[in-house]
A and B are shown apart, each in its own frame.
Chain A
Amino acid sequence: MTLIDTHAAVGADRLVVRYRKRTALAGIDLDLGPGVHGLLGPNGAGKSTLMRVLATVTSPTEGSVQVAGVNPASPGRARDARRRLGYLPQAFGFYPRFTVREFVEYFAWLKEVPGPQIPLAVQRAIDRVDLGARADEQLRRLSGGMVRRVGIAQAIVNDPDVLLLDEPTAGLDPEQRLDFRALVRELGVDACVLVSTHLVEDVAVACHDVVLLQDGRLVFTGTPDELVARADTDAPGDTDVERGYTSVLRAARRSPR
């Protein structure tokens, strides 16, 4: 079991990502194991960039990352990492004329799930996101929330050790978000799940710990309770977690780099 646990992890070592002149990530050190980790931060803080680097879609400008126990800098290692990876990007592009089953099956194949296991793996993934009844409908006939769930299904079809979900709750109604939290908690039992979201409440309920980014820097890591404890009494926010969130961001803005 220990062998498997080492795979259910992501890490970053002095990670810097620059797009031309703009610095998206300015030196991130991160070490996350199995469990559900919430990635919070204002727009433009670098959440999606961090997701993309961990998903091996973007390369670090400086520093390195570890994904599922390997450094994906070389093509061979990247392939090893990608086999154990599930990724739902923020801009989830899909093929409207594919059926749910075809789409998930296509990604099972791209992820090198062995041929004989594909039908069961696809059925399992579709069941887990509760789309069994719509499995043979085209994606264009599904609602936005259902399409998101198809995106989650393709991410989990290879039983990933590392699951990266970028704004997965966008477009889900409140009830679906409850189902989603339950699914994520279950996945987090044996995988390293990193969920980026702008909904602070999601993180408080569904995540074991919180990673907070601002301006490409890590300004907080800890449990949701620890985030609550950081709340100033005068901080804006409707809940304790939100007040903790805004307090940490204000403190980070004030402190010199």
Chain B
Amino acid sequence: MTHALTPDDGWHVSPQLRRAWITGTCADEQAWSVEAHLSECAICRQDVARHLASAVADIAGNSGPRSVRELVDDVHLRLVDLPEQVPLRPASVTRRWRALLGLRQVGLTWAVVLVALLAGATILDLLAGSRLLGGAPPTAASGAAAWFAGGGSWVAAVAPILPVLGVALAYGPGLDPAHEMTAATPVAGLRLVLWRTAGVLLTTVPAALVLELVVAANRQIGSSTPHPTRWLLPALGLTLVVLALGSRVGTAMATAGVASLWVLGVVAPLGTEAAPLLLTDVPPAFWALLAGGAGLVLVLRRDRLDALHSPPHHGGLA
């Protein structure tokens, strides 16, 4: 019950007041009201305890005087000795994703986006596929320029960016009711678009895989099999790589780096005898592994994603 946890006036100790109280720099009247409130409010007690710990870690460090550390540990233990009283649900990753993608909101729209992306990839594949792999593949001797001239698909060269553009449109000001508020948050911009793209692709790729398997199982002799995953997997892999790198060097830098490498991989062979390796010979397994690796990095670094470049005043006293 909420009223058992907190006084019912809804007031809580503000971060600034908390800081002042912990460091003993607030006026006596303020200190009294903070203490009176703390005696009633489990949430603020936990809050103070958490910041006390980080404040002392800052001040004393690991080599701090033992007596101070012991004292603080003692106070800290007494303050946080309320394990079951605060039934706060942890922020779950699933809820975060669902919110990020607006899943609860746009169940139908979501299905439309998924189907549209799947259909788009399949159509692209059927249009270009015969030239890429199915029909008469350009020989190595004809060279990369000839490969493009001979119908090697330019669409393949821009395919990884297409889902990103689609997502940017779908979650734009016209369609996302909370866009105005979202635009004023630090995640807004490229990073938010990329996270949403990753989310969209993570659900589309398995659907595409199922589609491919079903078609392959039922296909008649002579007909071509669509491979939508061939278009979606590189997009997923590159998006996740940008996000993973971005957690280290910043999203703009990561995007520029990965985009440059991609362009280089597509354009560089133009002067040579070979067809662009990136667009022809890279097996889907490579992109899947790349996506998996980048995804693993993101999971391992999940705490840093939020904290990247955080100003010190989130962390406690500093």
List A residues at the B interface (Cβ < 8 Å): 1, 4, 7, 52, 55-57, 75, 79-80, 82-85, 87-89, 91-98, 101-103, 105-115, 117-120, 122-124, 127-130, 132-133, 135, 151, 154, 159, 183, 186, 189-190
Contacts and interface: CB of A to CB of B under 8 A. Distances in A.
Contacts of A107: 181, 185
B10 A112 contact: no
Contact of B184 (A85, A92, A117): A85
B25 to A, nearest CB: 7
Given A110-B185, A110-B192, 13 more contacts: A4-B313, A75-B189, A82-B185, A84-B311, A85-B184, A93-B180, A94-B177, A95-B105, A98-B104, A109-B306, A114-B315, A115-B303, A117-B50
Contact of B310 (A4, A114, A118, A123): A114
Contacts of B307: 112, 114
Contacts of B303: 114-115
A173 B280 CA distance: 65
B90 A119 contact: yes
Given A112-B306, A127-B12, A120 B46 contact: yes
B139 interface: no
B43 A124 contact: yes
A119 B88 contact: yes
B15 interface: yes
A161 B216 CA distance: 58
A105 B187 contact: no
A88 B2 CA distance: 26
A240 B289 CA distance: 71
A123 B314 CA distance: 17
Given A98-B99, A124-B43, A127-B12, A109 B91 contact: yes
A6 to B, nearest CB: 12
Contact of A106 (B12, B14, B99, B302): B99
Given A98-B104, A109-B96, A118-B91, A83 B16 contact: no
Interface SS of chain A:
helix
Contacts of B25: 1
Interface string B240-270: 0000000000001000000000000000000
Contact of A120 (B43, B180, B309, B315): B43
B10 A94 contact: no
B102 interface: yes
Given A130-B10, A190-B16, A96 B105 contact: yes
Interface in B32-58: 43, 46-47, 50
Contacts of A159: 14-15
B300 interface: no
B182 interface: yes
B90 A128 contact: no
Contacts of B315: 114
Interface string B1-45: 010001000111011110110000100000000000000000100
A155 to B, nearest CB: 8
Contacts of B99: 98, 102-103, 105-106, 109
Contacts of A83: 186, 310-311, 314
A133 B3 CA distance: 9
B88 A93 contact: no
A99 B90 CA distance: 15
A114 B306 contact: yes
Interface in B259-301: none
Given A93-B177, A113-B314, A124 B16 contact: no
B161 interface: no
B105 A97 contact: yes
B95 interface: yes
Nearest to A190: B16
Contacts of A114: 303, 306-307, 310, 314-315
Nearest to A124: B12
Nearest to B302: A115
11 contacts: A1-B16, A52-B180, A55-B184, A75-B189, A83-B314, A111-B185, A118-B91, A120-B43, A123-B43, A128-B10, A132-B10
B186 to A, nearest CB: 4
B47 A120 contact: yes
A177 B176 CA distance: 29
B211 to A, nearest CB: 29
Contacts of B252: 75
A70 B105 CA distance: 35
A57 B183 CA distance: 6
